[in-house]
């Protein structure tokens, strides 16, 4: 990863900057409002930025998704590339599930289904690689990788 | 009460409504042209004021009070603009550019005041008018010209922070001078004011978080009323101490930080726009068009000197950040515009013997720099770089 430098912009927000592998400097200005601007710098005048892309908070999420920047999709695509034949599934733990209040270790999911829980998304926050003592809450979104059959079994266990 | 308000109120409503609609149209034009509304409001005030084309009947006392609230809200939001971290950073790093800024921009205004034969107090106020860039215009121009990611931009914004901090010191001094008693009493007032400013500033930097957390809990409505109440209350108390209400409001803004800062800015913003429009209108409302005409020559001369001053300031400030020639000129160009702060400073001196002249010169000066500043900033884009 290239080094990212951060410069505060008083009254406006913050500017992050890095140099790409090709030697181009890229800046992202994050406004206090959540709006973002992406800029690259002029070759002749290194102090001036030339092209600027304006993004609303929603646009930023879309672009980040397209660039594969969200940690979960990044991890998943890495796993998928390495292991052909494996699938990924997202399971929401319902309110009435028997798993609510129990941990990953309690369920012994990998032993029983062969599928691995790679992340849990709770309230918009992603917990990558949760430990065996991670306890489930209703509404948790469980991200798991395994064979198709294994995932189906895991789904049954989580929702019942 | 409404039923008994009578024909006087009816007349006032009609006049206020008509003026508001004119201001709305002007704000629309300003928006389309991409320039600030301040010069337009000043011109509108001239038209409805003494000797203007459509003088108003509404009592000057009423407009005056609304305008005063406008100043308080304006200064509150100016104080609100920066977070505690940004102020702390500004205190640490803004010294050299800030001092250059003060030296090359305050001095010409001060000397111009003396040259015009005014007393020292009025000259000090003109120095202040000449000194401070309009953070509103600067931020807008930077954003409009797509320069926020430019390398000179942090030094420009940091300079605005140090000007803000400098105002926390300058305004009490100016207010004490205007109150104008004996030397001893003036020194006491200044000392009290600066002491209060220091206490509030240090308190804000250290405990602003707690205050903000306390305010953050309530609803939007509660927050709006709290902030409005605090601003007027502290402003009023400051006025009682003869420290000038404007500083009190400014310090309340400085003291708020964190998430509540953004919320307060959003909530007070529309209210500020409404009251501040009346303030700008009222400011030039008191100026006779003939006076403004006479002030155009000194105002223009001062504007030229002040433009050079800001170019120098920008050159120094951006140079310290290792920015090249073109960027240093761009930084100076964008700083030329003066605006809200200058008018607030000039309005402090309304009651002085030279108050009329000061108001007229300040209005001419702000009209010219607020219009020419953004144009100059734009023109700097065509400067070829040598690096």
The 10s digit of each residue's pLDDT in B331-356 is 999 999 999 899 999 998 888 888 88
Closest CA to A143 of A83, A71, A95, A85: A71
Average pLDDT value for residue range A16-31? 89
Query: What local confidence, expressed as pLDDT, does residue B358 receive?
Result: 93
The CA dihedral of A68, A72, A77, A82, to the nearest 10 degrees, is 140
Mutation target vs A (from B77, B149, B325; most A CBs, 10 A cutoff): B149
- How far CA B43 is from CA of B52, B74, B140, B285, in Å, comes to 10, 19, 21, 9
Which residues are registered as beta bridge partners of A49? A41
B285 to chain A nearest CA, in Å?
Answer: 32
Upper half-sphere CA count for residue A137 (Cβ side, 13 Å): 6
Query: What local confidence, expressed as pLDDT, does residue B241 receive?
Result: 77
The reply to whether residue A45 touches residue B324, judged by beta carbons under 8 angstroms, is yes
- Does the pLDDT value for residue B1 go beyond 50? no
Quick one: three-class SS letters along B273-290? HHHHHHHHHHHHHCCCHH
A24 to chain B nearest CA, in Å?
Answer: 14
Whether chain B has a CB inside 8 Å of the CB on A87: the answer is no
Average pLDDT value for residue range B202-231? 82
Which residues are registered as beta bridge partners of A145? A88, A116
Phi, psi of B79 (to 5 degrees): -70, -30
Measured from the Cβ of residue B268, the count of other Cβ atoms closer than 10 Å reads: 21
Whether chain B has a CB inside 8 Å of the CB on A32: the answer is yes
- Chain B, window 145-164: residues with a beta carbon less than 8 angstroms from a chain A beta carbon: 146-154, 157-158, 160-161
Mean pLDDT of chain B: 86
Query: What local confidence, expressed as pLDDT, does residue B251 receive?
Result: 84
Tens digit of each residue's pLDDT (9 = 90 or more) over B71-100: 999 999 988 888 777 888 877 888 889 999
Provide the number of CB pairs (under 8 Å) joining chain A to chain B: 81
Identify the weakest region by mean pLDDT among A24-28, B1-5, B85-89.
B1-5
Query: What local confidence, expressed as pLDDT, does residue A80 receive?
Result: 54
Is this model's pTM higher than 0.80 or not? no
Tens digit of each residue's pLDDT (9 = 90 or more) over B265-312: 889 999 999 999 999 988 888 888 888 888 999 999 999 999 999 999
- Does the pLDDT value for residue B221 go beyond 70? yes
Query: What local confidence, expressed as pLDDT, does residue A69 receive?
Result: 64
Average pLDDT value for residue range B212-226? 84
CB-CB: which of A12, A29, A42 is closest to B139? A12
CB-CB: which of B154, B324, B387 is closest to A9? B154
Percent helix, percent strand, percent coil in chain B, to nearest 5: 80, 0, 20
Name chain B contacts of A6, Cβ cutoff 8 Å. Answer: none
Share of chain B above pLDDT 70, in %: 96
Query: What local confidence, expressed as pLDDT, does residue A77 receive?
Result: 58
Name chain B contacts of A9, Cβ cutoff 8 Å. Answer: 148, 153-154, 157
Upper half-sphere CA count for residue B10 (Cβ side, 13 Å): 4
Closest CA to B249 of B72, B90, B87, B98: B72
8 Å CB contact between B45 and B285: yes
Which residues are registered as beta bridge partners of A100? A136
- How far CA B303 is from CA of A35, B22, B156, B296, B366, in Å, comes to 35, 28, 20, 10, 8
B371: which 2 tokens? 């219009």
Average pLDDT value for residue range B188-217? 78
d(CA B7, CA B120): 46
Average pLDDT value for residue range B127-148? 91
Query: What local confidence, expressed as pLDDT, does residue A6 receive?
Result: 86
Query: What local confidence, expressed as pLDDT, does residue B228 receive?
Result: 93
Give the Cα-Cα-Cα angle A27, A46, B89 (nearest 5 degrees): 60
A116 or B59: which leads in pLDDT: A116
Rg (CA), chain B: 20
Query: What local confidence, expressed as pLDDT, does residue B4 receive?
Result: 57
- Does the pLDDT value for residue B386 go beyond 70? no
- Does the pLDDT value for residue B144 go beyond 90? no
Query: What local confidence, expressed as pLDDT, does residue A78 receive?
Result: 57
Please report which confidence band the pLDDT of residue A84 belongs to, taking 50, 70 and 90 as the band edges.
low
The reply to whether residue B81 touches residue A11, judged by beta carbons under 8 angstroms, is yes
Q: Is B220 helix (H, G, I), strand (E, B) or coil?
A: helix
The reply to whether residue A11 touches residue B139, judged by beta carbons under 8 angstroms, is yes
The reply to whether residue B154 touches residue A48, judged by beta carbons under 8 angstroms, is no
DSSP code of A108?
T
CB within 8 Å of B166: residues ≥ 6 apart: B98, B101, B102, B131
Closest CA to B377 of B162, B133, B107: B133
Name chain B contacts of A44, Cβ cutoff 8 Å. Answer: 385, 387
Which residues are registered as beta bridge partners of A55? A36
Q: Report CA B21 to chain centroid distance, whole Å.
A: 24
8 Å CB contact between A9 and B157: yes
8 Å CB contact between B326 and B311: no
Share of chain A above pLDDT 90, in %: 7
H or E stretch including A126?
A: strand A125-128
Query: Of the spans A141-150, B37-46, B108-117, B370-379, which averages the highest pLDDT?
Result: B108-117
Q: Is A42 helix (H, G, I), strand (E, B) or coil?
A: coil
Average pLDDT value for residue range B357-370? 93
H or E stretch including A25?
A: strand A25-31
Q: Rounded to a whole number, what is the distance in angstroms from the first to the last CA of chain B? A: 71
d(CA B38, CA B338): 10
Query: Of the spans A112-121, B49-58, B255-264, which averages the highest pLDDT?
Result: A112-121
Closest CA to B278 of B66, B74, B77, B76: B66
Average pLDDT value for residue range A103-108? 85
Whether chain A has a CB inside 8 Å of the CB on B387: the answer is yes
């Amino acid at each position: 990863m290239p080094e990212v430098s951060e410069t505060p912009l008083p009254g406006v927000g913050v500017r992050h900057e890095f140099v790409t592998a090709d030697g181009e400097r890229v800046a992202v200005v994050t406004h206090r409002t959540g709006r973002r601007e992406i800029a690259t710098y002029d070759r002749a005048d290194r102090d001036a930025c030339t092209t600027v892309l304006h993004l609303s908070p929603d646009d930023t999420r879309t672009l980040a998704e397209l660039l594969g920047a969200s940690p979960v999709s990044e991890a998943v695509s890495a796993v998928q590339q390495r292991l052909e034949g494996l699938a990924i599934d997202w399971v929401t733990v319902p309110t009435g599930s028997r798993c609510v209040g129990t941990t990953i270790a309690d369920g012994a999911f990998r032993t029983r289904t062969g599928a691995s829980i790679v992340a849990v998304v709770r309230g918009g926050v992603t917990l990558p690689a949760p430990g065996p003592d991670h306890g489930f809450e209703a509404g948790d979104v469980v991200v798991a990788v395994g064979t198709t059959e294994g995932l189906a079994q895991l789904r049954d266990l989580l929702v019942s | 009460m409404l039923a008994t308000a009578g024909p006087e109120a009816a007349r006032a409503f009609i006049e206020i409504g008509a003026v508001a609609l004119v201001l709305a149209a002007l704000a629309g034009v300003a928006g389309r042209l991409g320039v600030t509304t301040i010069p337009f409001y000043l011109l509108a005030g001239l038209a409805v004021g003494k000797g203007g084309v459509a003088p108003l009947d509404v009592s000057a006392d009423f407009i005056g009070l609304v305008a005063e609230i406008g100043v308080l809200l304006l200064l509150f939001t100016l104080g609100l603009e920066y977070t505690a971290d940004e102020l702390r950073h500004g205190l640490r790093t803004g010294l050299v550019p800030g001092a250059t800024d003060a030296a090359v921009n305050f001095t010409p205004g001060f000397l111009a005041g003396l040259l015009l034969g005014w007393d020292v107090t009025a000259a000090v106020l003109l120095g202040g008018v000449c000194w401070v860039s309009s953070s509103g215009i600067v931020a807008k121009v930077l954003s409009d010209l797509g320069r926020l990611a430019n390398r000179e931009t942090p030094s420009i914004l940091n300079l605005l922070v140090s000007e803000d901090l400098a105002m926390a010191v300058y305004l009490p001094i100016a207010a004490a001078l205007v109150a104008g008693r004996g030397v001893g009493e003036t020194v006491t007032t200044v000392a009290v004011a600066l002491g209060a400013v220091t206490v509030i500033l240090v308190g804000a930097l250290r405990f602003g978080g707690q205050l903000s957390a306390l305010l953050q809990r309530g609803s939007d409505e509660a927050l709006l009323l709290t902030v409005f109440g605090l601003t007027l209350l502290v402003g009023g108390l400051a006025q009682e101490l003869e420290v000038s209400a404007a500083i009190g409001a400014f310090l309340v803004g400085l003291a708020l930080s964190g998430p509540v800062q953004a919320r307060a800015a959003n909530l007070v913003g529309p209210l500020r726009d409404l009251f501040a429009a009346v303030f700008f209108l009222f400011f030039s409302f008191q100026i006779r068009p003939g006076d403004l005409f006479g002030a155009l020559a000194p105002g223009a001369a001062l504007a030229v000197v002040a433009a050079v001053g800001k170019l120098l300031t920008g050159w120094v400030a951006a140079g310290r950040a290792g920015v090249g020639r073109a960027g240093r000129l761009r930084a100076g160009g964008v700083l030329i515009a003066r605006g809200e702060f200058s008018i607030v400073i000039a309005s402090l001196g309304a009651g002085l013997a030279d108050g009329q002249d000061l108001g007229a010169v300040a209005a001419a000066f702000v009209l010219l720099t607020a219009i020419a500043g953004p144009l100059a900033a734009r023109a700097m884009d065509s400067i070829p770089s040598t690096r």
